[in-house]
Amino acid sequence: MSTGAIRLLLADDQALVRGALAALLSLEPDLEVVAEVGRADEVVDAARSHRADVCLLDIEMPGSTQVPDGIAAAAAVAGELSGVRSLMVTTFGRPGYLRRALEAGASGFVVKDTPAAELADAVRRVHQGLRVLDPTLAAESLAGGANPLTHREVEVLRAALGGSPVGTIAEQVHLSPGTVRNYLSSAIGKTGTSNRVEAARVARDRGWI
User: Considering only 11-20, 39-48, 129-138, 186-195, which range has the smallest mean pLDDT?
Assistant: 129-138
d(CA 49, CA 16): 23
Around 37, how many Cα atoms within 13 Å sit in the side-chain half-sphere? Answer: 26
- Please give the backbone phi and psi of residue 207, each rounded to the nearest 5 degrees, phi first: 80, 20
Mean pLDDT of all residues in 50-60 = 96
pLDDT of 114: 87
Q: Are 60 and 70 in contact (CB under 8 A)?
A: yes
Q: Would you say residue 141 has pLDDT above 80? A: no
Q: What topology is assigned to 6-143 in CATH? A: Rossmann fold (3.40.50)
Length of the chain: 209
Share of the chain above pLDDT 70, in %: 93
**Cα atoms in the 13 Å half-sphere on the side-chain side of 159:** 24
Class of domain 151-205: mainly alpha
The pLDDT confidence band at residue 1, using thresholds 50, 70 and 90, is very low
State the number of CA atoms in the 13 A half-sphere of 201 facing the CB: 8
The confidence score (pLDDT) of residue 156 equals 93
In this predicted structure, what is the pLDDT of residue 76? Answer: 97
Going through the chain in order, the beta strands assigned E by DSSP cover 6-11, 31-37, 54-57, 85-90, 108-111, 132-133
Domain boundaries along the sequence of the chain: 6-143, 151-205
Tally of helices (H runs) and strands (E runs) in the chain: 10, 6
Q: Alpha-carbon distance 49 to 63, whole Å?
A: 19
Q: Which residues contact 52 (CB under 8 A, 6 or more apart)?
A: 7, 8, 9, 34, 35, 46, 84
**Cα–Cα–Cα angle for 65, 149, 62, rounded to 5 degrees:** 25
Instruction: Give kind and range of the element (H or E) at residue 155.
Output: helix 151-160
